[in-house]
A and B are shown apart, each in its own frame.
Chain A
Amino acid sequence: MSRNGIGAKKIQWKYYINYIVIFAVAAFYTVLSLTGNIKQSETSLLEKIAIAIILASSLGMVVGFLGELSLGHAGFMCIGAFLGGKVSAILAESLGNGILTLVISVIIGGVAAALFGMIIGLPALRLRGDYLAIVTLAFGEIVRTVIMNLPEGLFGGTLGLKTPRFNNKHLFIIAFILVLVCIAVIQNLLRSRHGRAITSIRDNEIAARATGIDVTKYKLLVFTISAFFAGVAGVLYSYTQSNVQSTNFDYNYSIEILVMVVLGGIGSINGSIIAATLVTFLNVKLQTILTGDLAVLQNLFYALILILIVIYNNAPGLKGFREKYNFKSIFGKIFKRKSVAEAPNASGGAAPENNQGEEN
């Protein structure tokens, strides 16, 4: 699938480790659910994790590889959730509430969100950095307000859209298949020659343009694909809910997705996957532990951790410190005896985290 270069016979496992881990987890739970040993709370957690992974990895592509900050990811998800939810509600009457309905609504929701992604990508060609961030934020808010205030017959207005909740405990299997598709698309895109072009735009747009890279095309491409998957996540979300509220998709939600991307490490899709899993898992688990006034502490810690991580990773004054004590050098020492230099780094992070998912 990915290009290992001409003559590279050896399969580079580090490229596939994320598929393998996700597949293994999904297969494990599929067996559990087929034998009937799975609880409702577990499947709903798995669904949430799958949605978060799709959202975080698609946003991670924009933030980490195109180098533009998008604060409207929840807006694309909102489009997917409402359009996909509406389509599934219509189709459920004629086609029945089965796989076919789900596939059609996922495609329609994704494509609709992708169209909007392309529209929002257009200003991205003229605007950079902070300006683009505010435009995407504005876009997300526009989508939310418009959907909320359209006539009730269309998207349910302030009451929310009633969707035929896909009352099937096997939904998470479909969700994980979509996760694998999403990661495969994003990863192969980023590892291809197009991916190199995208990262070159991030590093220096003028230089990229000068070397003949079609900046317009690639920026639109990244925004469109990222929006597509946000839309897909939205449709999945609408399937897990019986009533979709547009107030859920405010800009705080976009920021929550951004938190996952930043925690996982900007510029690392695997990092986004791990952080999405961890944050969602913690969110769900802490909800039962931290009740009442304590619930606030969760946001407080997220904010603090985020600030510390960003300062640690970026502060020019900490450069020496960073080079001395970082994950790579620490992991490097542990795995020194293994001949593969980089591989444990990716797996070392991914494996223990996903085991955690299995324990519960």
Chain B
Amino acid sequence: MDFLTALINGLSSGGTYAIIALGYTMVYGIAKMLNFAHGDIIMIGGCVMYSVLSAKGNPLLAILAAVVFCVVLGVTIEKLAYKPLRGAASLAVLITAISMSYLLQSVAQIYLKSGTPALSALRLEGSVNIGSFRIDYSTILTLAVTIVVMVALSLFVKYSKTGRAMVAVSEDRDAALLMGINTNFIITITFAIGSALAAIAGYLMLCKAPILTNTLGSMPGIKAFAAAVIGGIGSIPGAMLGGILLGVVESISYSIPVLAPFTEAVEFSILIIILLVRPSGILGKMRREKV
């Protein structure tokens, strides 16, 4: 029974990781860059929820505002910091992204005045009890949102015109450009979707543990990034698989007393092992380097 609880909790936290990882993986697939600041967009979303909640007190409005704000923020960051570096060395882009993450964290710290407010209005309490078995509402909500997001995103990418264009750009940007696809627009759309997903993930995290800090997004961001890499960065099903896998491993490792303190080490070791066996992740495409 303990194992089953751990599994369900793992699926739930894995779902959150998967939603964050989707943002990483889509941006990597299309813009060919690691958006290190993605995790911090989650946190900024949390700050927006906090400010709307303290002004209006309506949780639904707060979530909506956070999604809109994050979309605008993500697109702005892309335009200001990443677009000028398109075509530059990947090291330069990575360092800019890391600095951007720092920038967002310090801005949030200034806004929060180094405090850690509790957003108790977002908290989802209560649980379903089946016999001795207990599942929190927040877990069910996370699982439901994850499934909806995954299905919606898969359908979007597969059937909509923009989604097809995204696949084309990630396959070959130059060829897509020649086919008349507005690659800049596609990149913007990708950042917008990724940031919206980050805001949703932020809500899912806050409904379990409603404490807002300026580093709220950094550890989940890094783990989700690891999940995206495990699944094969650039691949949308890979991000889902990697996220869920990481969440389940985390939860199971946490339920074993000997491993519990080393949970983070276990998670990151899995990343290293998978990368050593399959350098492009589980579902990633092997690319042969050519001259």
* Chain A residues packing against B (C-beta within 8 Å): 63, 67, 69, 122-123, 126-127, 129-131, 133-135, 137-139, 141-142, 145-146, 148-149, 205-207, 251, 255, 258-259, 262, 266, 293, 296-297, 299-300, 302-304, 306-307, 310-311, 313-318
| B279 A142 Cβ-Cβ under 8 A | no
B28: chain A residues within 8 A (beta carbon): 130
B91: chain A residues within 8 A (beta carbon): 63, 67, 69, 129, 266
Looking at the complex, which one of A130, A146, A311 makes contact with B265 (CB distance below 8 Å)? A146
| B103 A303 Cβ-Cβ under 8 A | yes
Q: Is the interface of A mostly helix, strand, loop or mixed?
A: helix
CA distance A39 to B150 in the complex (A): 62
From known contacts A149-B262, A310-B96, infer whether A135 and B84 are also in contact, taking CB-CB under 8 Å: no
| A310 B95 Cβ-Cβ under 8 A | yes
Looking at the complex, which one of B86, B265, B279, B291 makes contact with A316 (CB distance below 8 Å)? B86
| A306 B87 Cβ-Cβ under 8 A | no
CA distance A262 to B94 in the complex (A): 12
CA distance A297 to B291 in the complex (A): 46
Nearest Cβ in chain A — how far from B245, in angstroms? 15
CA distance A7 to B289 in the complex (A): 42
Nearest Cβ in chain A — how far from B246, in angstroms? 12
| A133 B94 Cβ-Cβ under 8 A | yes
Nearest Cβ in chain A — how far from B235, in angstroms? 14
Q: Which residue of A lies closest to B289 (CB)?
A: A206
B110: chain A residues within 8 A (beta carbon): 293, 296-297, 300
| A134 B271 Cβ-Cβ under 8 A | yes
| A138 B271 Cβ-Cβ under 8 A | yes
What are the interface flags for B85-125 relative to A under an 8 Å C-beta threshold, 1 for contact and 0 otherwise? 11111111011101110110111011001100000000000
| B268 A138 Cβ-Cβ under 8 A | yes
- From 259 to 278 in chain B, residues with beta carbon under 8 angstroms from any chain A beta carbon are 261-265, 268-269, 271-272, 275-276
| B265 A314 Cβ-Cβ under 8 A | no
| A145 B276 Cβ-Cβ under 8 A | no
Looking at the complex, which one of B92, B261, B268 makes contact with A314 (CB distance below 8 Å)? B92
| B268 A69 Cβ-Cβ under 8 A | no
CA distance A286 to B114 in the complex (A): 18
From known contacts A258-B95, A303-B103, infer whether A142 and B265 are also in contact, taking CB-CB under 8 Å: yes
A145: chain B residues within 8 A (beta carbon): 261-265
Using A138-B226, A297-B110, A307-B81 as known contacts, list a sample of 10 further A-B pairs with CB atoms less than 8 Å apart, ordered by residue number in A. Answer: A67-B91, A69-B94, A126-B276, A133-B94, A138-B271, A142-B268, A299-B109, A303-B102, A313-B92, A315-B88
Q: Which residue of B lies closest to A301 (CB)?
A: B106
| A149 B99 Cβ-Cβ under 8 A | no
CA distance A310 to B96 in the complex (A): 7
* Chain B residues packing against A (C-beta within 8 Å): 28, 34, 81, 84-92, 94-96, 98-100, 102-103, 105-107, 109-110, 113-114, 222, 225-226, 229, 233, 261-265, 268-269, 271-272, 275-276, 279, 289, 291
| A126 B102 Cβ-Cβ under 8 A | no
B84: chain A residues within 8 A (beta carbon): 311, 315, 317-318
A314: chain B residues within 8 A (beta carbon): 85, 88-89, 92
Q: Which residue of A lies closest to B268 (CB)?
A: A138
CA distance A67 to B289 in the complex (A): 17
A207: chain B residues within 8 A (beta carbon): 291
CA distance A151 to B85 in the complex (A): 47
CA distance A192 to B105 in the complex (A): 42
| A142 B225 Cβ-Cβ under 8 A | no
B92: chain A residues within 8 A (beta carbon): 310, 313-314
Task: Pick the 8 closest A-B CB pairs, nearest first.
Answer: A138-B268, A149-B261, A303-B103, A314-B92, A306-B99, A303-B102, A314-B88, A299-B106
Q: Which residue of A lies closest to B262 (CB)?
A: A149
User: Can you name 20 A-B pairs with beta carbons within 8 Å?
Assistant: A123-B272, A131-B229, A133-B94, A134-B225, A134-B229, A138-B271, A141-B264, A142-B272, A145-B263, A205-B289, A251-B222, A255-B98, A293-B110, A297-B106, A299-B106, A303-B99, A306-B99, A306-B102, A311-B85, A314-B88
From known contacts A123-B275, A142-B265, A145-B265, infer whether A304 and B87 are also in contact, taking CB-CB under 8 Å: no
CA distance A129 to B32 in the complex (A): 12
From known contacts A142-B265, A293-B114, infer whether A135 and B272 are also in contact, taking CB-CB under 8 Å: yes
From known contacts A262-B95, A315-B88, infer whether A139 and B103 are also in contact, taking CB-CB under 8 Å: no
B106: chain A residues within 8 A (beta carbon): 296-297, 299-300, 303
Q: Which residue of A lies closest to B91 (CB)?
A: A69
Nearest Cβ in chain A — how far from B173, in angstroms? 15
CA distance A236 to B35 in the complex (A): 35
Q: Which residue of A lies closest to B102 (CB)?
A: A303
Q: Which residue of A lies closest to B273 (CB)?
A: A123
A293: chain B residues within 8 A (beta carbon): 110, 113-114
